[in-house]
Amino acid sequence: MNEELIEGNTMSTVHFTCPECEQRLTLEEARRAAVVATGCPLCTAPIGATAFEPLERVQ
Ligand SMILES: [Zn+2]
């Protein structure tokens, strides 16, 4: 858990559950497109946009 987020330098994270290995993973939002393109980091199964959970932004 990142409890100390510097304003202006916050890093949004996204969560997704792999439909193949069923692992729930967290990654930086910036890497989301890469995961969709290359698949699950663990098992390389294709990750669709629907696997991602809605963004949570911490104020
Ligand atoms: Zn997987």
Cα-to-centroid distance, 45 and ligand 1 (Å) = 5
Element holding 32 (H helix, E strand): helix 32-38
In a domain, 1, yes or no: no
The verdict on residue 6 lying in a domain is no
Q: Judge whether residue 6 has pLDDT over 60.
A: no
Total of domains in the chain: 1
How many whole angstroms from 59 Cα to the centroid of ligand 1?
Answer: 30
User: Measured in angstroms, how far is the CA atom of residue 51 from the centroid of ligand 1?
Assistant: 11
- For residue 10, report the distance from its CA to the centre of ligand 1, in Å: 27
What does the alpha-carbon distance between residue 32 and residue 49 come to, in Å, rounded to a whole number?
9
19-52 per-position pLDDT tens digit: 999 999 999 999 999 999 999 999 999 999 889 9
Containing domain of residue 18, as a range?
A: 13-51
| Exposure class string for 22-52: b at 16+ Cβ within 10 A, else e | eeebeeeeeebeebeeeebeeeeeebeeebb
Q: By the 8 A CB rule, do 36 and 47 touch?
A: yes
CA of 52 to the centre of ligand 1 (A): 13
pTM across the whole model = 0.69
DSSP annotation of 24 reads: E
